[in-house]
Chains A and B, each alone.
Chain A
Amino acid sequence: AQRVTQPEKLLSVFKGAPVELKCNYSYSGSPELFWYVQYSRQRLQLLLRHISRESIKGFTADLNKGETSFHLKKPFAQEEDSAMYYCALETSYDKVIFGPGTSLSVIP
Chain B
Amino acid sequence: KAGVTQTPRYLIKTRGQQVTLSCSPISGHRSVSWYQQTPGQGLQFLFEYFSETQRNKGNFPGRFSGRQFSNSRSEMNVSTLELGDSALYLCASSLEAYYTQYFGPGTRLTVL
Chain A contacts to B: CB under 8 angstroms = 32, 43-46, 49, 86, 90, 92-101
Contact = CB atoms under 8 A, between A and B. Distances in A.
B56 A49 contact: no
Contacts of B33: 94-96
A92 B90 contact: no
B45 A100 contact: no
Contacts of B44: 98
B97 A94 contact: yes
Given A32-B98, A98-B42, A98-B43, A93 B50 contact: yes
Interface of B: 3, 31, 33, 35, 42-45, 48, 50, 55-56, 58, 90, 92, 94, 97-98, 100-106
Name B's interface SS: strand
Contact of A96 (B101, B102, B104): B101
Q: Which of A32, A86, A96, A100 has the most CB of B within 10 A?
A: A96
Given A44-B90, A86-B43, A101-B42, A94 B101 contact: yes
A94 B94 contact: yes
Contacts, number: 55
Given A86-B43, A100-B42, A94 B103 contact: no
A49 B97 contact: no
For the complex of A and B, list the 7 residue pairs with the smallest distance between their C-beta atoms, beginning with the closest.
Answer: A98-B43, A93-B55, A44-B103, A95-B56, A94-B48, A93-B56, A100-B42
20 contacts: A44-B90, A44-B92, A44-B103, A45-B102, A46-B100, A46-B101, A49-B100, A90-B98, A93-B50, A94-B31, A94-B56, A94-B92, A94-B97, A94-B98, A96-B33, A96-B45, A96-B101, A97-B45, A98-B44, A98-B45
A95 B98 CA distance: 9
